[in-house]
């Protein structure tokens, strides 16, 4: 089974990049299933119903979120859709699903999202939540989106789940890392798959707004960079659906020149 995971979609430019690149990536890689993190897909923070339909319409099968899940009002009804996942280690009283199972090629593909705690929200332990879920939930192939700030916490999750899931893919920092590998017990891992959106930006944000924040120390609102080239960051996972073990993981990075 081949899974294409598209890194964090950043605002309108990210959606434009997704619509441009995804058909080309499908033709090149022939994935059986497409995942995308879309927690920043609406104006750089959060998601809305119309934006989610735009992402699904581009060819994405399941959306994962993160710490900006509730950044937009009215998102709760959207979270009833099992194709839109928020971190499973948020308190269970909150709406939404943290994991779901899909049928792919006659096999079951499980998608689980967890979120780190270092410099993130004060939520339940992602390691204990992973144990809880994996002890009661089974699928032939399991892909985990580990949404976290610290590379160390993501790497720790990779090692913790090695042999128990097919892949642990990191999201959130918007910069693609070059540490993709197969861990000893058969789990594919990468610390961060990267960002899909404006290349000539500061992690997707408007350069002037971001620089002002660094130079003055004053807070600034979220502003997506609208100028310059577009990029897509992704990874391709090949998994033996009979064993659940990963066979390969490859980084994908493409640029659409606009200037």
The Cα angle at residue 56 between residues 170 and 130, in degrees rounded to 5: 35
Q: What gap in Å lies between CA 66 and CA 147, rounded to an integer?
A: 6
Please write the tens of the pLDDT for every residue from 79-106.
Answer: 999 999 999 999 999 999 999 999 999 9
In tens, the pLDDT along 7-18 reads: 999 999 999 999
User: What backbone phi and psi angles, to 5 degrees, belong to 42?
Assistant: -105, 100
Whether the pLDDT of residue 208 is over 70: the answer is: yes
**Homologous superfamily (CATH) for 2-256:** Metallo-dependent phosphatases (3.60.21.10)
pLDDT above 90 (res 150): yes
End-to-end CA distance of the chain: 37
Report the pLDDT value the prediction gives residue 219, as an integer from 0 to 100.
85
68 is catalytic: yes
Spell out the alpha helix ranges (H) of the chain: 11-29, 49-57, 126-136, 151-161, 207-216
Task: Give residue 145's pLDDT band: very low, low, confident or very high (50, 70, 90).
Answer: very high
- Candidate list 20, 68, 118, 174, residue with the active-site label: 68
| pLDDT mean over 242-252 | 98
**pTM for this entry:** 0.97
Percent of the chain with pLDDT over 90: 96
Whole-number pLDDT of residue 259:
67
């Amino acid at each position: 089974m081949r899974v294409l995971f598209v890194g964090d979609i950043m605002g309108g430019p990210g959606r434009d990049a997704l619509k441009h690149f995804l058909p080309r990536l499908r033709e090149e890689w022939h994935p059986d299933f497409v995942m995308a993190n879309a927690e920043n897909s609406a104006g750089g923070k959060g998601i809305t119903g119309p934006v989610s339909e735009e992402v699904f319409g581009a060819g994405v099968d399941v959306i994962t979120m993160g710490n900006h899940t509730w950044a937009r009002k009215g998102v709760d009804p959207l979270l009833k859709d099992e194709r839109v996942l928020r971190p499973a280690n948020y308190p269970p009283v909150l709406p939404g699903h943290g994991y779901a199972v899909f049928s792919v090629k006659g096999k079951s593909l499980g998608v689980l999202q967890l979120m780190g705690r270092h410099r993130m929200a004060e939520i339940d332990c992602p390691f204990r939540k992973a144990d809880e879920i994996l002890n009661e939930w089974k699928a032939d192939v399991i892909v985990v989106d580990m949404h976290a700030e610290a590379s160390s916490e993501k790497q720790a999750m990779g090692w913790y789940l090695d042999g128990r899931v097919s892949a642990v893919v990191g999201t959130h920092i918007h910069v693609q890392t070059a540490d993709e590998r197969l861990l000893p017990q058969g789990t594919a891992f990468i610390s961060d798959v990267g960002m899909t959106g404006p290349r000539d930006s500061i992690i997707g944000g408007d350069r002037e707004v971001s620089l002002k924040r660094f130079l003055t120390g004053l807070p600034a609102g979220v502003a997506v960079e609208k100028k310059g080239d577009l990029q897509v960051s992704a990874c391709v996972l090949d998994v033996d659906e009979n064993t659940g073990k990963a066979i390969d993981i490859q980084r994908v990075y493409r640029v659409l020149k606009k200037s």
